[in-house]
Amino acid sequence: MTTIEANTVPRFLVMTSSAKMPPSVRARYRNVAVVETDGTKYPAMISTHARGLVRIVSYSGKLNVGKGIRSAYALALAEAEATAERLNGEAA
């Protein structure tokens, strides 16, 4: 991982949020996204309307949060972190 100076926002970062599911679904589901920021502030949500967000680079959709590292959420999170690191390396 790269070190980040105080008061700076990386250009590409990984965001997660809880996914809305019907009451009949008892498992937990989450969203994973890689977003591009304008560098001024951290976005509060995964949306093109969020302040500080330029665009959503990739979005996973609703993923099951399992117990292990092979769950859909864990795999998508690892892939998103790798993508954000690669994009930040290219942008620098």
Q: What is the pTM of this model?
A: 0.85
Residue 5 covered by a domain: no
Q: Tell me how crowded residue 70 is: count the other CB atoms within 10 A of its CB.
A: 8
Which of 7, 17, 4, 21 shows the shortest CA–CA distance to 76?
A: 17
How large is the average pLDDT for residues 67-84?
95
Residue 41 covered by a domain: yes
Residue 6 reports pLDDT greater than 90: no
Residue 73 covered by a domain: yes
Report the pLDDT value the prediction gives residue 7, as an integer from 0 to 100: 64
CB 31 within 8 A of CB 61: yes
Residue 1 covered by a domain: no
Residue 3 covered by a domain: no
Report the DSSP pairing between strands 53-59 and 29-37: antiparallel
List the structure tokens of 47. 């949306």
Classify residue 19 by its DSSP letter: P
CB 21 within 8 A of CB 31: no
User: Which range of residues forms the domain containing residue 45?
Assistant: 12-91
Residue 32 covered by a domain: yes
Residue 4 covered by a domain: no
Residue 41 reports pLDDT greater than 80: yes
Number of domains in the chain: 1
Residue 2 covered by a domain: no
